[in-house]
Structure 1
Amino acid sequence: MPDNDFGYTPWGKDWVRLAEPLSLTKPEPLLPRARSVARNGGVQLEIDGVHVKAAIHRGAEASVTYLELTPLPAATVRAIADHIPAGALTLGDDVHAALRAAGITLAPVLANADCSCRARNQRCLHMLATCYALALRVDQNPWLALDLQGYRMARDGEEEAVDLPAPRWTAIEALDPATFFDVPVG
């Protein structure tokens, strides 16, 4: 039976392909455990532009996984911006289909991957679990798929990043209580 917890949108499916590339010729025995770790909240993600740092706690072991994604070229960013409706707050399957029909590749490309575990293999359990956790987050918020590839960041030779609407919500941990109400402290 297929596992539909990850990659149930076309946006997330592109990210599942990091863990499950079509080029694999034999079954990957770590995939079921990696899905379980990601599904049960064992991956804590910290996202900073095209860099992802994941803390994975499994039993008595803890590992830190680092992924760096290749930023989209400036020409691709402009082509994507031409296909996203003005004022779009969410990206639906229709936008993904339109981008694919225009020949724009949205699949992420890893520039670097590293893990602190003792497996010494780029495709360790922790890296796979991080890919699944990212796919889950991208399924929930497709803008993240573009942001992780540097869609909104400024490029060399450009004055500013692509101008997009503000997100509909702000994560509570992103707020600073000392400055939120604009009241001087002390």
Structure 2
Amino acid sequence: MADNEFGYTAWGMDWVRLAEPLRATRPEPLLPRARSIARNGGVSAETEGRVVRAAIHRGGQASVTHVEVAAATRAAVTAVTGLLGAAGIVTDDTHRALLAEGHRPAPVLAATDCSCSARTPRCVHVLAVLYDTARRVDENPRLALELQGCFDASADDIPELAEAPRWTPIHTLDPADWFTPPDPADP
């Protein structure tokens, strides 16, 4: 068996590091099961934009898992398009060149969600999706950049600031905007 079953390219290793962070202080007991699920074809994943949706079957259980990747910054997109040029081939040399220019090509997770009963952002299903995505990125490194939205628009179209927040703080809402007194002329 290969030493690096998942993450044998620099691009894939970035995804493995999401499941196995170097800053971990104790072993994660779910990692062997997650690798087994990904290795044995238990993950049916598809990507749409910056979201990976997966159906995971393990024994008699099934879970639906979503992993959303944060958008790349304008500077990173500009650097990627400059390095790739017309050929558009993504290699480990491209990864090293991005690091040399000061851009971190590793993905950042914006959100994770799973339908399982674990109710944790790092359940076995999310970890299996990360390993499966690492395997798919090893096969096609361009997918790592596609999941960060590097090819969705030109660098001029990407806003400088982060995208809109996923949640609206409750104190910013005005009840008068939501509830209006009934109109006496309305029957």
- TM range, normalised to the smaller chain? 0.7 to 0.9
Aligned-partner Cα distance in 2 for 1:83–1:150: 16
Aligned to 2:37: 37
- TM-score scaled by length of structure 1: 0.80
Aligned-partner Cα distance in 2 for 1:2–1:140: 15
Aligned-partner Cα distance in 2 for 1:144–1:36: 22
| CA-CA distance at 1:2 after TM superposition | 8.1
Q: Residue 145 in 1 paired to residue 144 in 2?
A: yes
Aligned to 1:57: 57
Aligned to 2:180: none
Larger Rg: 2
Deviation digits for residues 79-132 of structure 1, max 9, x if unmatched?
1111224213x3221111111111110111111101000011111000000000
Task: Give the unaligned 5+ runs of structure 2.
Answer: 159-187
CA spacing shift, 1:59–1:6, aligned 2, 3 Å: same
Aligned to 1:180: none
Instruction: Decide whether the 8 Å contact of 1:64 with 1:116 is kept in 2.
Output: yes
Aligned-partner Cα distance in 1 for 2:80–2:137: 17
Aligned-partner Cα distance in 2 for 1:64–1:82: 37
Runs of 4+ residues deviating >2 angstroms:
154-159
Aligned-partner Cα distance in 1 for 2:146–2:7: 17
Q: Secondary structure at the match of 2:150?
A: coil
Q: Secondary structure at the match of 2:148?
A: coil
Aligned to 1:46: 46
Aligned-partner Cα distance in 1 for 2:104–2:114: 27
Identity, % of aligned pairs? 57
Moved more, 147-156 or 134-143: 147-156
- TM-score scaled by length of structure 2: 0.80
**Corresponding letter in the other structure for 2:127:** L
Q: Secondary structure at the match of 1:28?
A: coil
Instruction: Decide whether the 8 Å contact of 1:74 with 1:155 is kept in 2.
Output: no
Aligned to 2:114: 115
Aligned-partner Cα distance in 2 for 1:85–1:76: 14
Aligned-partner Cα distance in 2 for 1:155–1:117: 38
Moved more, 6-15 or 147-156: 147-156
